[in-house]
Structure 1
Amino acid sequence: MNINFEFPTPTLISVNVIELEVFEAGQGVGRQPIILCHGWPEHAYSWRYQVTPLVEAGYHVIIPNQRGYGNSTCPKEVTKYDIEHLTGDLVELLDYYQYENAIFVGHDWGASVVWNMAMLHPERVSKIINLCLPYQVRGEKPWIDFLEEIFGEDYYFVHFNKKPGVADAILDDNAAQFLTNLYRKNIPAQAPSQGMEMINLANSTQALGEAVMSDKDLAVYLNGFKQTGFTPSINWYRNLNRNWHLLAEVSPIIHQPTLMVYGEKDIIPPLPNIQDFVPNIDIESLDAGHWIQEERPEELNKMILNWLSE
């Protein structure tokens, strides 16, 4: 991959009774802020290919390592990772830079934070670009209960909640192997495996398909998780039922202009009726798996910039 990029050096910024490690570029008068939110198990560095094109297009690019990641604060209490805290961090980040609102871009768990940011703090979100993870409908049952009924207790969302500490320890002990096996593309079709998917990846000595990134890039992620361990980031999953309750009285309709980009090879399916909840949405897809901003950076950057300029 021949995309040139310069990833900014970080600053620690105090927000919401914690510190966030923030990477920013392109700050200046008259520039529109765009905040990029990473997923799990990722790092702000996952957006490295998007920084230069966005800065050159006139944006102030702000990329936090969200709480529980990198050099950002990792609170001990599980409830400190609920959706009110995660979106509250971004609200105070806007306040720090004295921005009324910003464009928010999310991938994976970061997309979930962005969807919820638009519901909990709609006045702070001007536009939305989300990758891979569609809007999540709040059904009649809390999310972990619902997922357990469909996928069983070995589904990793459920396992993280029902058996706290078990997967954390295995991922910590096998961090390099786990991340190497996870960050793959063009994986051949295979029969569903038994047991817990993330533990299987951590224990497997055979990486399938092709590597998404170089060893040098993967080392950035690995160093981040060696520093924090996996528990803080897994604690995001341990708040899904809590988040379901916190959103009980919140309007489920998102009105901001939205671009949803799916990976055609991703295992996360599109939401067929997403327009019912996000009426002002444009839907695109790329020939990619789940790590879309790293697998197809040039195509994605072009898609994002074209959409923003319309």
Structure 2
Amino acid sequence: MTDFPEPTIVHVNGVELEVFEAGRHHGGRPIVLCHGWPEHAYSWRHQMPALAAAGYHVIAPNQRGYGNSSRPVDVTDYDIAHLSGDLVALLDHFGYEDATFVGHDWGAMVVWGLTLLHPDRVRKVINLSLPYQERGERPWIEVMEEMLGDDFYFVHFNRQPGVADAVLDANTSRFLRNLYRKNEPPQPPEPGMMMMNLATAEKPQGEPVLSDGELAVLVEAFEASGFTGGINWYRNLDRNWRLLAAVDPIIRKPALMIYGDRDMIPRSASLTTFVPDVDVVVLDCGHWIQQEMPEETSHTILMWLDRQDAG
């Protein structure tokens, strides 16, 4: 990981987290970057120096299940209470009352949940790709299974535990190569489970998001850790739905939502209902926003933070 910070191992909340930092001397201006699946703190490699140069203490953990962080065995150790608890404990470790939190993909889901469960520890919210997910009357996986079928990967991860994990673990390099793409040509839906199909497909579609060297960093990390820890986040969706039952569902913090115009994750029609103080920016890219358009993403984040501070 050339030019990427050396990690430290931090003991928090009953686990060890591998944490990367930049701008440590800017104590008092913390910003915590939360990766998604299947990602790594390395996904923020472009934003970390830009944020540090702007005067922030940048903290990018490999969250539980990833990299050299702990990988608990019990599935329930990956629910939103544990994942948000890790971030709260990380703030305590560094001596911060609160921080700005940035999340991409599953990291965004964790940041939304953190803000609901621990609003006093969150100063501002910046999320990429995944908008706030409304908690409906029925558990999320149950609804997805009815609407999208047994092969939808969220459902498959839950209903057939271990099956996809084994396929992804056996095809780590191919899976990550085929997943981290952009400008894919339109394709009709194919039968089977999308992630397993990607893991076994001979030829990738579209253009690579990562250089060979960048891809190698992820391949090495997931060959060491496997995919089960990250997939266990999916296996707690309905548990999270229950854990959030009695929580005020409104995000009452200033928020920035960054969408990729060609991301397969749909935009939220109800975002302002649940996140009333939100600004929305759409970038001309796919799902891997901060890696597809690194300079534009960093600029968008910094300009929004400047406006918030000026206000």
Alignment TM-score > 0.5, same fold: yes
Instruction: Give the percent of matched residue pairs that are identical in Structure 1 and Structure 2.
Output: 61
Match of 2:249 in 1: 252
For 1:214-268, what per-residue CA distance to the aligned partner results, in whole angstroms no more than 9, with x for missing partners? 1111111111111111111100000001000000000000010000000000011
Alignment of 1:120-269 (within 5 A): 120-269=117-266
Q: Which residue of 1 aligns with 2:268?
A: 271
Moved over 2 A (4+): 28-31
Partner of 1:64: 61
Tell me the distance in 1 between the aligned counterparts of 2:89 and 2:192: 40
Match of 1:7 among 4, 7, 18: 4
Match of 2:108 in 1: 111
Match of 1:52 among 49, 54, 57: 49
Asked if the contact 1:37–1:106 (Cα under 8 Å) also holds between the matched residues in 2, the reply is yes
Task: Write the distance in 2 (CA, Å) between the matches of 1:193 and 1:104.
Answer: 36
Kindly state the Cα deviation for residue 90 of structure 1 after the two structures are TM-superposed: 0.2
Write the mapping of 1:25-40 to structure 2, written as runs, cut at 5 A. Answer: 25-28=22-25, 30-40=27-37
Native 8 Å contact 1:6 1:52 kept in 2: no
Q: State the 1:273 CA deviation.
A: 1.6
Name the counterpart of 2:40. Answer: 43
Distance 1:128 1:215 in 2: 32
Which TM-score applies when normalising by structure 2? 0.97
Match of 1:93 in 2: 90
Q: Can you give the 5+ residue segments of structure 1 that lack an aligned partner in the other structure?
A: none
8 Å Cα contact 2:32/2:59 also seen in 1: yes
- Secondary structure at 1:63's aligned position in 2? strand
The question of whether the paired residues in 1 share the 8 Å contact of 2:35 and 2:107 is answered with yes
Q: Distance in 2 between matches of 1:86 and 1:263?
A: 25
Q: Which residue of 2 aligns with 1:289?
A: 286
**Contact 1:6-1:51 at 8 Å conserved across structures:** no
Structure 2 SS opposite 1:129: strand
Structure 2 gap ranges (5+): none
Change (3 A) 1:167 1:29: closer
2:297 to 274, 285, 300: 300
Alignment RMSD (CA, Å): 0.8
Question: TM (normalized to structure 1)?
Answer: 0.98
SS at match of 1:189: coil
> How far is 1:143 from its partner?
0.6
SS of the aligned residue for 2:123 comes to: strand
Distance 2:198 2:102 in 1: 28
